[in-house]
Chain A
Amino acid sequence: MSSFSVFSHIPVADPNTGAKPFSDFKRDSHRDKVFLAGKEYVGEGGRSALLPLIRKIKQQMNSDPTLNPEYLPSLGLPHFTRRASELALGKDSRAIVENRVIGVQAVGGSGAVRLGAELLKCRYGDGSSWRGPVLLPSPFDESLSWIFKAAGVGDVHCYRYWDGEHRGVCVGKMMEDLEKAPEQSVVVLSVVGHWPTGSDLSQGEWKHVVEVLGTRRLLPFFLLRAQGLCSGEPEEDAWPLRYAVAQGLELLCAQSFSHNFGLYGERVGHLLCVLKENDNLLAVQSQAEKLVQALWAHPPLEGARVVTTVLSNPAHLVEWLDGLKGIAERCMVMRERLREKLRLLGGTWEHLVKSRGLYCCIGLTVQQVAFLARKRHVYLLPEGCLNVSAINSRNLDYVAESIHLALTSHI
């Protein structure tokens, strides 16, 4: 019997830095501990909850005797991809009317990014691999960088986005970085509710960005997460994407339906590809299909079916939009309440209500974030950003005091 293991030289993987706050939180036994570093929307009760509408639809689906268990097409449930495209671009979008849109159901937003990265790699169509550059906004989810690299697109950089000092987007620096980018670079852009800062560009600023994308021949790869959760209105949240399309840009967009449908575990995502012309649409679509075969072959049905059911039924749509407004309002209310508490303790906190959606950036140093975790058992994201939905009536005072202490103690 051989004692040799084929795996013996394999090192332990570097810990996932994104998971550290949660693992520290789980180990923490302090009764006042608060976890503000999660990605999911959390209700007032402190847990992520299934929207009643979604529960109802799942139960209806379950008792439907006509449900077919067979594989979905590789490109996904056709009704889903249509509705997803319409939700993002608007039913009357030029691009849809002119048949220049490819939609592929993907396994969550991450799966959509991976598929998009793989598609970009073969963008030259001659067997050679495009390897970048791809520009990501700083700060960014490290897994985005890994995804591009795993797909073989190794040339990944940052552009300046969040200005910690001024607690907002540093548009000037961002524009500088985009102007300097080589032609044909891919620029990853958060449409709304930027993770983790929550800070987005204004419409005027978007117009400048789109202009530069056009003149510098840069390809935008939009990330559309939590559409509808930021302003409460899906159309308003999707404005930057729709504006870019209206200006005739070619683009990719990875959509996630995790937050705006509360379908995290179901992995509902969609990759949109808007082409300049549709003569090559079938070719690009066939490439996408081939790439899907090598990734997951067919996407999962359940979540996509729920989304399609909601988006195809006027009554469901109204109920869903109401639910979205409720979430958006609650997030804004928590921001305002946090701002008030902090203002009373000292300092200016207007930036908390300038951004919308689930995430916002307090503006803390690494040491202050560590202080919060160790001394106050309050867990934030490394940049001092937090998920406002995880704040509630029970922990608001404690969180505000803790932040104040972090800022005023000698650390």
Chain B
Amino acid sequence: MVVSENVAASPGASVFADALDVEIGCAGAYRTDEGQPWVLPVVRKVEKMIAEDNSLNHEYLPILGLPEFRSSASKIVLGENSPAVLEKRVGAVQCLGGTGALKIGAEFLRRWHNGGNTKTPVYVSAPTWENHNGVFANAGFEDIRPYKYWNAEKRGLDLAGFLGDLESAPEQSVIVLHACAHNPTGTDPSKDEWEQIAQVMKRRSLFPFFDSAYQGFASGNLEKDAWAVRFFVSQRFEIFCAQSFSKNFGLYNERVGNLTVVAKDEDNLTRVLSQMEKIVRITWSNPPSQGARVVSITLNNPELFTEWKDNVKTMADRVLLMRAELKAKLLALGTPGTWEHITEQIGMFSFTGLNPKQVEYLVKEKHIYLMASGRINMCGLTTKNIDYVAESIHEAVTRV
């Protein structure tokens, strides 16, 4: 016996299975107007620099990662002049993508937060990215609960429900917040709504754990996309922020992530990082160098940084254009229903509001693959297919 006989097959991760088999739409990766993956020009340039640099050593990185990566990555989300940065109470752990950052953060909180009580609730939005649940559960949290977020009827944020769930959350609960471009709904709280959320969380002593996978990619503007995180920090919250550079650098397969920690003071930060180091050691020992080097060189060089911001804006603008075009075409076709949400939502994904039957029609009859939830990946739209998609949606809505 031993390993083989009794291991049960795990239920398929349906989102990844669906996404692999698509014609239009793709598994959370940006595509150009030609439907191709895009290596950012600045990334290609920096990778060449790295390949030709004979002085680079190829030894193990420090356990917490490349120092210049960690600090520049944290500054990107918090702002260089963030009081927390200036007060030296910001630290970071280089991780394997956003998932890795969530993992290390979750493992830390399970051990050290709220007296190490594994029944401390972790709240994730309803709906949320499929993997949030798995990461926190595998880290040992026993009580992972949804907070109300998406109002399907009005196709927008259920703020009252959200605030209500926060009010009734036990103190010290961990709240997973999407920094911007909420996955999968594309619906973010407004500034005013974030202020209300922060107020309740402060009063109820709830711990904010931000997931920032789309900074720059959502609006095209780095500062705008980081507003919520910066606001919480300005309100003197201690936070974790899991940053992913997969999308905004197009470095999906090099797994570049950063767990930014904002603590009350430097002493707390030091102790936290010392415990994080132990956790990293028993997970992957030390992180991979390539992606972090690319990001670090780019962020720390003014010219390259400007070029990167341009590249990011290119991606964001294309998505915004597709949103605008899709809405315009649906309106022009006179497709029943309101389509404002297509342009009000932000980032890679959009909850179209199509019902399961309409989705099935699109998949079976029109060969347009989208999630059963009606979630569409805007990156899958191109100038060549947008008419077809708009017409197909029109058919789905009018016939089904």
B3 in contact with A300 (CB, 8 Å): no
B4 cross-chain contacts in A, Cβ below 8 A = 250, 275-277, 279-281, 284
* Smallest CB separation, B2 vs chain A (Å): 5
A108 in contact with B252 (CB, 8 Å): no
A296 in contact with B100 (CB, 8 Å): yes
B251 in contact with A7 (CB, 8 Å): no
Q: Which of A228-284 contact B (CB under 8 A)?
A: 250, 252, 258, 262-267, 273, 275-277, 279-284
Cα A275 to Cα B5 with chains together (Å): 9
Closest to A3 in B: B264
Cα A381 to Cα B281 with chains together (Å): 19
Answer whether residue A318 sits at the interface, using C-beta atoms and an 8 A cutoff: no
Cα A16 to Cα B54 with chains together (Å): 31
Chain A interface mostly helix, strand, loop or mixed? loop
B265 in contact with A302 (CB, 8 Å): no
Closest to B131 in A: A293
Which of B6-14, B222-230, B321-329 contacts its partner?
Answer: B6-14
Q: Which of B9-28 contact A (CB under 8 A)?
A: 9-10, 12-13, 16, 27-28
29 residue pairs from A and B, CB less than 8 Å apart:
A6-B113, A6-B172, A7-B263, A7-B264, A8-B264, A16-B277, A48-B58, A58-B51, A62-B50, A71-B252, A107-B96, A110-B285, A111-B283, A125-B8, A126-B6, A217-B2, A250-B3, A264-B58, A265-B60, A283-B10, A290-B13, A297-B97, A298-B99, A300-B255, A300-B288, A302-B288, A302-B290, A303-B288, A303-B290
Answer whether residue B158 sits at the interface, using C-beta atoms and an 8 A cutoff: no
Answer whether residue B385 sits at the interface, using C-beta atoms and an 8 A cutoff: no
Cα A61 to Cα B47 with chains together (Å): 10
A283 cross-chain contacts in B, Cβ below 8 A = 7-10
B61 in contact with A265 (CB, 8 Å): yes
Which of B183-191, B266-274, B303-311, B361-369 contacts its partner?
Answer: B266-274
Binding site for B on A (CB under 8 A): 1-14, 16, 39-40, 47-48, 50, 55, 58-59, 61-63, 67-72, 74, 107-111, 114, 119-120, 122-126, 143, 146-147, 149-150, 184, 217, 219, 250, 252, 258, 262-267, 273, 275-277, 279-284, 286-287, 289-291, 293-303
Cα A341 to Cα B316 with chains together (Å): 66
A266 in contact with B290 (CB, 8 Å): yes
Q: Which of B82-140 contact A (CB under 8 A)?
A: 96-97, 99-100, 103, 107, 112-113, 115, 131, 134-135, 137-139
Closest to A277 in B: B4
Contact A70:B37 (CB < 8 A) given known A111-B284, A294-B138, A297-B97: yes
Number of residues on chain B facing chain A (CB within 8 A): 82
* Central interface residue in A7, A40, A114, A150, by most chain B CB within 10 Å: A7
Closest to A7 in B: B268
Q: Which one of A3, A146, A299 lies within 8 Å of B255 (CB-CB)?
A: A299
Answer whether residue B339 sits at the interface, using C-beta atoms and an 8 A cutoff: no
Answer whether residue B353 sits at the interface, using C-beta atoms and an 8 A cutoff: no
B103 in contact with A287 (CB, 8 Å): no
Cα A61 to Cα B52 with chains together (Å): 12
Contact A125:B6 (CB < 8 A) given known A114-B284, A143-B285: yes
Answer whether residue B400 sits at the interface, using C-beta atoms and an 8 A cutoff: no
Cα A263 to Cα B289 with chains together (Å): 10
7 interchain residue pairs of minimum CB distance: A125-B6, A294-B138, A110-B285, A265-B289, A297-B99, A296-B96, A5-B264
A13 in contact with B278 (CB, 8 Å): yes
A287 in contact with B7 (CB, 8 Å): yes
B58 in contact with A70 (CB, 8 Å): no
Q: A108-B285, A273-B3, A294-B135 are in contact. List 12 more A-B contacts (CB 8 A).
A: A1-B236, A55-B51, A69-B253, A74-B16, A123-B6, A147-B282, A150-B107, A262-B58, A265-B60, A283-B10, A296-B97, A303-B288
Answer whether residue B153 sits at the interface, using C-beta atoms and an 8 A cutoff: no
B265 in contact with A297 (CB, 8 Å): no
B115 cross-chain contacts in A, Cβ below 8 A = 9
Contact A111:B285 (CB < 8 A) given known A69-B38, A71-B253, A280-B7: yes
B29 in contact with A71 (CB, 8 Å): yes
Answer whether residue B57 sits at the interface, using C-beta atoms and an 8 A cutoff: yes
Cα A286 to Cα B14 with chains together (Å): 13
* Smallest CB separation, A208 vs chain B (Å): 20
Answer whether residue B352 sits at the interface, using C-beta atoms and an 8 A cutoff: no
A264 in contact with B3 (CB, 8 Å): no
A296 in contact with B3 (CB, 8 Å): no
Q: Which of B218-248 contact A (CB under 8 A)?
A: 236, 238, 246
Contact A62:B253 (CB < 8 A) given known A5-B264, A123-B3, A294-B103: no
A284 cross-chain contacts in B, Cβ below 8 A = 3-4, 7
Closest to B66 in A: A265
Contact A267:B287 (CB < 8 A) given known A5-B265, A273-B3, A294-B134: yes
Cα A184 to Cα B6 with chains together (Å): 14
Closest to A112 in B: B284
B264 cross-chain contacts in A, Cβ below 8 A = 3-5, 7-8
A264 cross-chain contacts in B, Cβ below 8 A = 58-60
Cα A111 to Cα B103 with chains together (Å): 13
Answer whether residue B357 sits at the interface, using C-beta atoms and an 8 A cutoff: no
Cα A402 to Cα B156 with chains together (Å): 73
Cα A38 to Cα B16 with chains together (Å): 41
